[in-house]
Chains A and B, each alone.
Chain A
Amino acid sequence: MCFRRLARKLPLPVENKETRPRIDLIVFIVNLLSERSLQSVESSLAHLHSDCFLGKVCFLVTDGELRATFNNCKCAHTHFCRCVLRRVTLSVSQTADGVNAAAVRLQNILTVSAGMSPIATTALYLSSLTRCSVTSDLEED
């Protein structure tokens, strides 16, 4: 059984701590063009234990034109943007098909994170496979 919880920011409220099941995956839904969105994500990241970043965190960018928005992103969070882009796993285009496809991919990540993949694969291993090891600055002349 899979529980999904939405939260505006971290940390989660202290009250429900006991009844909360184990968290398998944390997805940050980011809009690169919105200043508030970036701020909120940045502040929430500080509340996460560093272990989480070994495969339990992923970023979902809701603006299909990643590079274009990144180029336009003149916010003060440029450094943060660069970090985000390196860890980005998903970008969603605004079509219905795109949203479906992103949902399926998210589900695949979740299956592995929750330890339910058919042949044992850890979330860490999966994140090492999908990690972008090259900077995404592909500016040409």
Chain B
Amino acid sequence: QQQQQQQQRRHYEELAHKSGFSTEQIKNLHKRFRQLSGNKETISRANLDSIPALANNPIKKQIIDAFFDKRNQRQDDEVGSLEEIGLEQFLMVMSHFRPPAHKSGEEERQAARRQKLRFLFNMHDTDGDGIITLVEYRKELLSKSGAIGHQAAKAIADAAMLEVASTNAPHMAPDDFYEGITFEHFQQILKGLEMESRMHIRFLDVDTTTMRCGKATS
């Protein structure tokens, strides 16, 4: 029992080192992981699909896919998707949402921002070729638009691509075409977006099930 606990502790520490969470947070997330997976070692898509709260979310599918996307594991050059994920992969994806540390330097901030942008980019770039093409963009907008109507969503996607093209490749000749949004372009157009203050979640240090109204510290 002792040995098992120690082993687990070491495991957590390893994970903490890789993902940047604290061991407390990992413990909580592990609990949640077990809850989701039904006490198994891995989570499959079906597990995540069945979360009731996610049902209202228009981009539910993309979010779930993001968990199974190899590119979000921060091991570069791996493309494709996994069938099932273990705790480590779960944590790696979650680590994209860590809030900016209070005392992070400029470089760390930039790195974190880049990571979050990469996450977003991977979400849009469904075929994994490194470029968001118009088709992908449209498809993604369509899935979210729902009530807007296909035409408008398409039009908006077109307009957005136009915008990217004009800001990043303003000197294109009339006969050129614009392949798609690369990650650099993506970064460029989203320069004005305040990601640090938006795309983060307060990961609790204490167990959510016992302390419902506590202040979150992360």
Do A and B pair up? The answer is: no
Interface residues of B (CB under 8 A from A): none
